[in-house]
Each structure stands twice: as structure tokens, then as C-alpha cells.
Amino acid sequence: MRGILGTLCVLSCSALALAKPLILSPLPLPEATVEVGQAAKKGWVVYEVRPGDTLAGVAARYGVDPRHIMWSSGLKTDRLQVGQRLLIPLVAQEDRAPRVPPGVEAYRVRPGDTLQSVASRYGVSVLDLVSANPSLESLDRLVAGSVLYIPKKVKGLVVALPEGQTLVDLAARFGLSPVEVARVNGLANPAELKAGDLVLLPGIQAKTTYQRLLAKQEAERQARLEAERRRQEELRRLAEERRRQQALAQGARQAQAQTQRASVKPQVRRVSYQEGGMRWPLSGFRITTYFGQRGAFQRYHTGIDLAAPYGTPIVAAKAGQVQVAGWSSYGYGFHVVVDHGGGVETLYAHMSRIAVRSGEWVEAGQVIGYVGSTGWSTGPHLHFEVRVGGVARNPLAYLP
């Protein structure tokens, strides 16, 4: 622990007071920050994100729930950016882990898990899961590395016993018999329960939470549709702009050719890269969503989804120039756009890693990135688009 802490930006209260005008972090710092090198038991650590860090990884290193880092750092997503500052709430080392009721499994969320997928794997309903985890903030996104409680026998609301309250108080608040609550929770003596221990309240469902999350999900879906509409508009505008530029360049070339015509021998015509079809961007995949089909995040799917293992190399479907290589704020995650000339472009989204730079020339079959699940994605896959004049076309029409 000491080793890890030594390399971090840990603030002491006195240093904080002295360094106030320095603005070490845009985050409001809580009162009790800890001394450098001191065995940190309680307090806060300011951590600067380094390349390769994941929220789940950072959380695991400090033994905290990744969602607690999200809350204290004001993060909207669990994607980290290098250089970003996180505020990590430390938990006292000697505190015993909270008691989990028998028949409730503490499941560690893995990347790509959704509430629906976990629910079907365990044969419980989404409402059962929401009830056992009333602090969930979204029906769509689960934070990898966080703990999800799964009621495997008795279903009900799972809450932490509040400070200063007893099991009898809690049972009374929900109109339950304390004896029944003690029995379901496997407690011979309700007094052995401490504040923070989890209590299963049988038969109680977090319907309000569920309805609130459903409403939030719908609002997010609308926002995504709106973002998608704006993105399409922007793409049309860019394509228009590019066409204009190409027309200008063409005009300039023709003028130059005219002045040189007399002295220059007719050249062998170079085979244009606009000719010929495309090749599949992956080898070994399964098509999970077709063009035009309703996707997980879109009403109208603008490409095809090819499911393949995380890290599978993605190749350019055709030779061209890399137009875009980077992060998308529209849900494509790490993505690459290749311009094949003649207004034809291909797009490769949700990559775990990009292998090319913007402006670079790529040959058909050249590796341009690797399959991942970045952006609006629920599992490792390649979202592949073909656009002609800025309009998404069915990629299957261009593939062998």
C-alpha cells in the first residue's frame, strides 16, 4: 500500500492550506485528506490518470468500489482520460467487510456486462436486480469492477443498516416482522448486525427506483438519437465541404495539365483506388446487427455489427487515406474513418486500440486497429459503416 501511495499525489491538510492558490485539482477537496507516506486509513487520495489505467483497475488497487470514485470525482462515465484527476475515497483498513445476507451473491461486474445479461444469466428479473441494488444509476451501463448483489433465493430490497438503527427499526419502516427479517437474513441474534451491514427485506421491490431508471433510460435514448441526428448533419456538411475542395483541386489540375499538354507524354493511367470492391475488415466474426436494423443505441442502424473476440485485428476494407483516427463523442468510441476517394468512406468503431494516424495512407488489408467495446457498445464488436457522399449505405452491398 505504502509503495503505491508513494508514487501518488497525496495531499496533506497543511500542504493543502498553503497551496490553496495553486489549484491542484478542479475538484472540491474534502476536509480530511491524508499525509504523504502515512498509512492511509481514511481520507482522500488525488490520483492522476496514467496511460493504460482503467477505473476498475484503479478502484481495485485502493480496494474501493469504482462507483464511489465516480461519485466523489463527479464522473459521468467510467472512461478515464490520461491526466484526469480522480478523488479516491479511502476506506479504513481495519473495518470489516459489510455482512452480506445468505442467499445473496456479491457479483463483480465484468466489462461488457449489462443488467439484462446478468439477470438472464442468474434467472432473475431486472426489477429483482434493481431491488437488490437500489443505488444503481442506470439500466444500460454497469461499472466494470463494481459489485452487484444477486438475490439467488429470496427476492427483496437490499439496504445497508443505517447508523444508529436496528434491524427492528428497519423492519418496522417497511411493515415487516422483525422475526421474519432476522430469519431470512440468517441472524440468530439481530444485535450482531452493525451499521453498514446489508439487510435483505423480503418481498419489498424498488419499483420507484426502477421506474426512475426506466425514465432516465428513455431520456438518454432520446438524447442519443438527437446526437446521432446532429452527427449525420455534420457528416453531410463535411462531405459537402470535401466535394467542394475536390472540385477546386480538380479545376486547378486541369488548368495545369492544359499548360503542360504539349511537352508531356500521355501517362499510363494509374488504376484508381475507387475501383474494385471491398474486403471484410475482420476474419472470424459473427454478424450480430444488420444495416437498417434497430441497434442497441440507434433506431436505424447505420452499419453492420461484427462480433469478434476483444483484440482481433481490424483491417482496412479498401486502400485509402485515414481521415479520422481518434475518440468520438458520438458513441463510436475509438474509431477510424478511411477515405477511399470518390466520396466513399468506411468507418470502424468501438476499437480497443487504433493502429493508424490521421492522414496516413493505408492499403486494403492493412491492420488499422483492434476490436474493443469503447463508446456506446455492450460487448466487443466492430461497427462497420460504408458511406457514399456522406450517406450510410448497406456495407453488404460492397463486401464479397
Indicate the SS3 state at residue 59: helix
Buried b vs exposed e over 40-50: b needs ≥16 C-beta within 10 Å? beebbbbbebe
Nearer to Zn ion, 99 or 383 (CB): 383
Nearer to Zn ion, 73 or 302 (CB): 302
Smallest gap, in angstroms, from Cβ of residue 333 to Zn ion? 11
Q: How far apart are CA 35 and CA 366, in angstroms?
A: 51
Position 196, amino acid: G
List the grid coordinates of 183.
Answer: 430469519
Nearer to Zn ion, 304 or 364 (CB): 304
Interface contacts to Zn ion, rule CB under 5 A:
305, 383
Nearer to Zn ion, 172 or 307 (CB): 307
Do 334 and 383 contact (CB within 8 A), yes or no? no
Smallest gap, in angstroms, from Cβ of residue 346 to Zn ion? 14
List the grid coordinates of 162.
Answer: 443505517
Nearer to Zn ion, 99 or 301 (CB): 301
Total Cβ atoms within 10 A of residue 2: 9
Smallest gap, in angstroms, from Cβ of residue 394 to Zn ion? 13
Listed residue (113, 142, 147) closest to 132, CA to CA: 147
Nearer to Zn ion, 47 or 297 (CB): 297
Packing angle of the helix pair 66-73, 55-62 (nearest 10 deg): 100
Smallest gap, in angstroms, from Cβ of residue 334 to Zn ion? 14
Smallest gap, in angstroms, from Cβ of residue 374 to Zn ion? 13
List the grid coordinates of 270.
Answer: 494509374
Q: How far apart are CA 200 and CA 158, in angstroms?
A: 5
Smallest gap, in angstroms, from Cβ of residue 138 to Zn ion? 20
Q: How far apart are CA 69 and CA 87, in angstroms?
A: 6
Smallest gap, in angstroms, from Cβ of residue 216 to Zn ion? 23
Position 166, amino acid: T
Nearest residue to Zn ion on Cβ basis: 383
Nearer to Zn ion, 155 or 335 (CB): 335
